[in-house]
Amino acid sequence: VSESAAAEINATREAGGRIIPVGTTACRLIESAAGAECIHPWSGETDIFIRPGYKFRIADGLMTNFHLPRSTLMMLVSALMGRDRMLALYAHAIAERYRFFSYGDASLLLPKG
């Protein structure tokens, strides 16, 4: 996370805007760079494992594709949206024949509240 990216993210939050990373990798990156109330410039490896119960500090939503059930990425989106809500969304996606995997259909996930 560059100094300018951190400044832009922090300014957006201060102005009341939402931070919505595009992709789970970007989500893990900004959450790894998160401080208590803002994001800091950061570079390096992360071992952050986002699963239900995780308290997001920076991401207010997520744009991502539909991930395979029982995957760590499904755990990440369930942490954001809630497991039951994700199961309902996935049931809809399956019924409507959405495409899964990396080149599948995308979703904009915005948690309630």
The whole-model pTM stands at 0.90
Neighbours of 68 (CB within 10 A): 10
Exposed e or buried b per residue across 34-66, where buried means at least 16 C-beta atoms within 10 angstroms of its C-beta: beeebbeebeeeeeeebeeeeebebbebbbbbb
Q: What is the pLDDT of residues 46-96, one digit of tens each?
A: 999 999 999 999 999 999 988 887 889 999 999 999 999 999 998 998 899
Contacts of 45 (CB under 8 A, 6+ apart): none
Side-chain half-sphere CA neighbours of 94 within 13 A: 9
Q: What is the DSSP letter of 79?
A: H
